[in-house]
């Protein structure tokens, strides 16, 4: 989570758009994860598919996918 900055988002949109379009994972609901502005903060959120909650292995694989994408988004915003 970081403070929402429209200028930074606009500046980095050329890096973010391909990432948003090309990053698909079977761990998340279609269109997830996403960047969301909430009360002045920019949050990286994802709605996970329920089968990721059925075992420890599936859950840790989903977390790994989430944090990998988070790092990709962070790099795109740098």
Per-residue pLDDT of 12-67, as tens digits, reads: 788 888 888 888 889 999 889 988 889 988 899 999 999 999 999 999 999 999 99
Take residue 69 and report the two structure tokens written for it: 């994408």
At residue 58, the pLDDT reads 96
At residue 16, the pLDDT reads 87
Domain ranges of the chain: 2-77
The CA distance from 23 to 72, in Å, is: 10
pTM over 0.85, yes/no: no
What is the secondary structure of 8-53 as a DSSP string?
Answer: HHHHTHHHHHHHHHH---TTB-TT-SEEEEETTEEEEE-PBPGGGG
Cα-Cα-Cα-Cα dihedral sign, residues 48, 54, 57, 59: positive
């Amino acid at each position: 989570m970081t403070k929402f900055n429209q200028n930074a988002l606009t500046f980095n949109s050329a890096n973010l758009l391909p990432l948003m379009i090309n990053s698909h994972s079977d761990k998340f609901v279609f269109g997830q994860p996403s960047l969301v502005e909430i009360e002045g903060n920019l949050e990286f959120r994802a709605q996970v598919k329920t089968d990721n909650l059925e075992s420890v292995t599936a859950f840790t694989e989903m977390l790994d996918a989430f944090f990998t994408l988070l790092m990709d988004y962070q790099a795109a915003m740098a």
